[in-house]
Amino acid sequence: MQAHSKFITVLVSERFGSIEANTRRHVSNSAYANKVLARQGPASLSYNYEDVAHLLNKTSKKAVDGQYPSKMKKFLAKAKTTLQENIPQHNFQPQQSQPSTIAPPTPTDVLRYRYHHGTNLGSIFVLEQWLHGSMFPPNTGGSSECDAVYNSLHLNGLEATRQKWEQHWRSALTDGDLDWLAKEARCTSIRLPVGYFTLGPDFCHGTAFAGVKDVYVNAWAAVKDIARRARSYGIGILLDFHALPGGANKQDHSGTCSGKAELWGNRHNLDLATRCIVFAAQEIRGGNLEGIVGLQVVNEAIWDPKGLYDWYDEVIAAVSHIDDSIPIYISDGWDLNRALAWTSGRTLSRCARNPVVIDHHKYYTFSDEDRSQSPHQIIGRIYNELGQLDGKTGTVWDKGEVEIIIGEYSCVLDGKTWSQVPAEEKDGLTQHFGRAQSQKWQERTGGSYFWTYKMDWMDGGEWGFAEQTKKGNILPPASMRLSSEEIHQKMQVAQDRRQDLATGALRSHEDYWNRTAPGQRFQHELYWDGWNVGYSDAQAFFAMRNSGGLGHVASSCGGVDKIGCLEIWAKKRILESGQRGEFTWEWEQGLRSGISAFYQCVGI
C-alpha cells in the first residue's frame, strides 16, 4: 500500500467519540483500519490520507445502505469533504533499500540525542543590561551589546574595552561552575547565546558592529574554550545564534536597540547570517568546536517574517553539504503550529538528512492573560501544555520529524499574579510551578533550558538556574540520580531479560497482524531487526555515562542518560538502516518498541 507524506487530522464530536472507537466499532473487519490504528497508537488523531480514504469509502457505503444512523451519515459526509480538501501533494514513494550503516551509539550521539536538562548562559556573548549592568558604562544610552561596547570604546579606548570584554567571557564559566553544573544540577547541556559579531572582525563588515569589530578578535576562541571545557565535564553546548545581522526580532537581546527586525527580507543580512552558520558548521566538522549538541540558527524570530522557512531550507541545505549529522534548531517564530506543520512535511525522501528541532519558549509572566491569573490557575495551565503535539509524533518514515525543546523558561510570575495569594504561600507555589514545568517538559519534549545561569545578582531569584536548582524548584530527570550500583543491577536485569522480551514482542506483533490482516503480505523480520536496534540503543545510552564514555567527571556523578530526542533519533536510525521500502514502518515500529521495552525493563 502506498503511503503519503502529508496527514490530516479528523476531529470527531464527543457525540460519536474518537475516530478510533468509531472505526473499530463500524469497520471491525477492515485491515486498513487496524493497520492505521496500530501504527499511530491508541491516543493518536493523526491518520494517513489513503488509510482514512479507504475507511470513509467503506463506512460511507454502509451509511448509504442504511446501516448507520442519520447523524453518522452527516458526519461521514463532512469527513469525506474535509478529506478531499486535504489531498496531499507529495507522496512517499517506496525506494530501493540500501545496505545498513548502523553502528553502536557514540558519545557524540548521546550528547546530541539524550534528554537535555540544561540552562542558558545568557548575557555573556550577547549582553543584556538587566542581567549584567556592570558591563555598561554610566549613562549608556541603550541596553544592548552594541550600546555597551560603543560607549566603552568611546570612554575607555580599544585596549581597555577589549580586556574588559575578554575578562567577562573568561569568567563566565569557571571550573567551579562546571563542577556544580555536572555534579549537583545534573546539567547535560548549556544553551550558549552568541552573536554574529562573536565570530570575529571578518563577520562585522557592513553591520552595526563594524566600528567596534576589533573588540571581538578573541571572542570565538573564548566560545571554543567554553565548549572544550564543558565537554570535559560531560556537558554539551547548544550554540544559539541569538543575535543575527539586522536583528531577527526587535528586542535588545538581538544585539542592538534599533527596534527593528531587519534580518528578514534583506539579502545582505540573510547571506551574512548563513555565512556565520556555515562557518560554525565547518568548525564543528573540523573538530575545532567540541561537544556541540546542535546549531540554533536563530533565536525568537518575529511572528511570520518574510521568507522565514525559505531561509531555513537554505541554511539546512548549506549545513548539510558540510556535515549532515549536525542537528539544526529553529525558532518557531511564536507560531508553534506552523513550525510543526513545516517539520512534519520534511519527509525522509525529500529533505536533507540533518535532524531538525523546534525551539519553543514558555514564559508565564509577560502577557495580560498571565498577569490576570493566580499562581494556581497558571500551574493548572501547565498540565495541558503542548497539546499541539498530539497525534504528530510516533512515526517519521512517512510524515517527517516533530521534535521540540523548550529553549527558555523560568520560575518567574508577575507581581499581579502573586498579589492574588498570601505572601507566605509564594515559596511553596514557586516550587509547585517549577516542578510542574520540569515534569511537563520531560514528558513531552527533547529537553529544556532554564533562563538563565549567570547575572550580576547571583543566585538570580526566579530567573536563576542556580537558585531554583538549589531550592529544588526545578528537577532533573529521576534517572540522573541513579547510583552506580543501581545502574549495574538494572543493566544486568535488562541483559538477562532481553531474549525473552524480544521473542515475546515479535510473537505479539505477528499474532496481531495474522489476526487482523490475514493473507496480507508483511515483512515481520523488519520489526525484529528494528526492535533489536532500539533495545541496544537504549541500553547504550543508559550505560554510556557510567562506563566513562562522557569523561571521568560524568562517570563519577552517577545517573544515566535516556534517548530524549526520540523523533530525530528514529529518523537517524531509519536513514542508517537503509530501509526505504513500503514496510519501513515495521522497522520503525520495532525500533520504538525495543527502546520502550528497555526503559520499562529498567524502570525509567
Looking at the fold, whether 145 and 21 belong to one and the same domain comes out as: no
CATH number of the domain where residue 163 is located:
3.20.20.80
- Torsion angle, CA of 376/378/384/389, rounded to 10 degrees? -160
469 lies in a domain? no
CA-closest candidate to residue 23, choices 514, 516, 387, 400: 516
Does position 488 have pLDDT exceeding 80, yes or no?
A: yes
Q: Identify each DSSP E strand in 383-441 by its residue range.
A: 404-409
Q: Distance (Å, rounded) from C-alpha 318 to C-alpha 349?
A: 18
476 lies in a domain? no
Q: What 8-state DSSP symbol labels residue 211?
A: G
Looking at the fold, whether 328 and 450 belong to one and the same domain comes out as: yes
Task: Provide the pLDDT confidence category of residue 363 given band limits of 50, 70 and 90.
Answer: very high
Task: Provide the pLDDT confidence category of residue 172 given band limits of 50, 70 and 90.
Answer: very high
Q: Range of 532's domain?
A: 484-602
156, exposed or middle or buried, with CB in 10 Å at 0-12, 13-18, 19+?
middle
593 lies in a domain? yes
pLDDT tens digit sequence for 430-445: 999 999 999 999 999 9
Higher pLDDT, 572 or 41: 572
In this structure, of 397-406, 416-425, 454-463, 534-543, the range with the lowest mean pLDDT score is: 397-406
pLDDT tens digit sequence for 288-303: 999 999 999 999 999 9
- What local confidence, expressed as pLDDT, does residue 349 receive? 76
Domain count within the chain: 3
182 lies in a domain? yes
Looking at the fold, whether 41 and 177 belong to one and the same domain comes out as: no
Residues 312-316: contacts with CB under 8 Å, at least 24 apart? 312/342, 314/270, 314/274, 315/273, 315/274, 315/277, 316/351, 316/352, 316/354, 316/356
Mean per-residue pLDDT over the chain, rounded: 88
Q: What are phi and psi of 7, to 5 degrees?
A: -120, 155
- Reading phi first (left if > 0) and then psi (alpha if -120 to 50, else beta), residue 10 is in beta
pLDDT tens digit sequence for 68-100: 455 555 555 555 444 433 333 333 456 677 899
Looking at the fold, whether 60 and 120 belong to one and the same domain comes out as: no
Task: Provide the pLDDT confidence category of residue 350 given band limits of 50, 70 and 90.
Answer: confident
93 lies in a domain? no
Which residue blocks in 41-128 are alpha helix, DSSP H?
49-64, 70-85, 107-113
In this structure, of 31-40, 156-165, 184-193, 576-585, the range with the lowest mean pLDDT score is: 31-40
Does position 160 have pLDDT exceeding 60, yes or no?
A: yes
Q: What are phi and psi of 450, to 5 degrees?
A: -70, 145
Q: Distance (Å, rounded) from C-alpha 602 to C-alpha 274?
A: 44
Looking at the fold, whether 594 and 531 belong to one and the same domain comes out as: yes
95 lies in a domain? no
Does position 366 have pLDDT exceeding 90, yes or no?
A: yes
Cβ contact 115:475 at 8 Å: no
Cβ contact 474:451 at 8 Å: no
Higher pLDDT, 542 or 10: 542
- What local confidence, expressed as pLDDT, does residue 399 receive? 83
Does position 35 have pLDDT exceeding 50, yes or no?
A: no
Looking at the fold, whether 69 and 136 belong to one and the same domain comes out as: no
Higher pLDDT, 13 or 130: 130
Average pLDDT over residues 406-411: 99
Could you tell me the three cell numbers for 270?
A: 540573510
- Reading phi first (left if > 0) and then psi (alpha if -120 to 50, else beta), residue 400 is in left
Looking at the fold, whether 148 and 277 belong to one and the same domain comes out as: yes
Q: Distance (Å, rounded) from C-alpha 390 to C-alpha 360?
A: 16
Could you tell me the three cell numbers for 521?
A: 503480505
pLDDT tens digit sequence for 191-245: 999 999 999 999 999 999 999 999 999 999 999 999 999 999 999 999 999 999 9
Looking at the fold, whether 142 and 264 belong to one and the same domain comes out as: yes
Looking at the fold, whether 182 and 60 belong to one and the same domain comes out as: no
- Buried/exposed 374-402: b ≥16 CB within 10 Å, e otherwise: bbeebbeebeebbebbebbbbbbbbbbbb
Looking at the fold, whether 71 and 150 belong to one and the same domain comes out as: no
140 lies in a domain? yes
Average pLDDT over residues 383-399: 94
- What local confidence, expressed as pLDDT, does residue 93 receive? 58
- In whole angstroms, how large is the CA radius of gyration of the chain? 26
Helices (H) and strands (E) in the chain, counts: 22, 10
354 lies in a domain? yes
Does position 8 have pLDDT exceeding 60, yes or no?
A: no
Looking at the fold, whether 70 and 140 belong to one and the same domain comes out as: no
pLDDT tens digit sequence for 238-270: 999 999 999 999 999 999 999 999 999 999 999
Helix (H, G, I), strand (E, B) or coil at 293: strand
Q: What 8-state DSSP symbol labels residue 141?
A: S
- Per residue, what are the HEC states of 487-509? HHHHHHHHHHHHHHHHHHHHHHH
- What local confidence, expressed as pLDDT, does residue 74 receive? 56
- What local confidence, expressed as pLDDT, does residue 16 receive? 28
- What local confidence, expressed as pLDDT, does residue 427 receive? 99
Task: Provide the pLDDT confidence category of residue 482 given band limits of 50, 70 and 90.
Answer: very high
Looking at the fold, whether 190 and 62 belong to one and the same domain comes out as: no
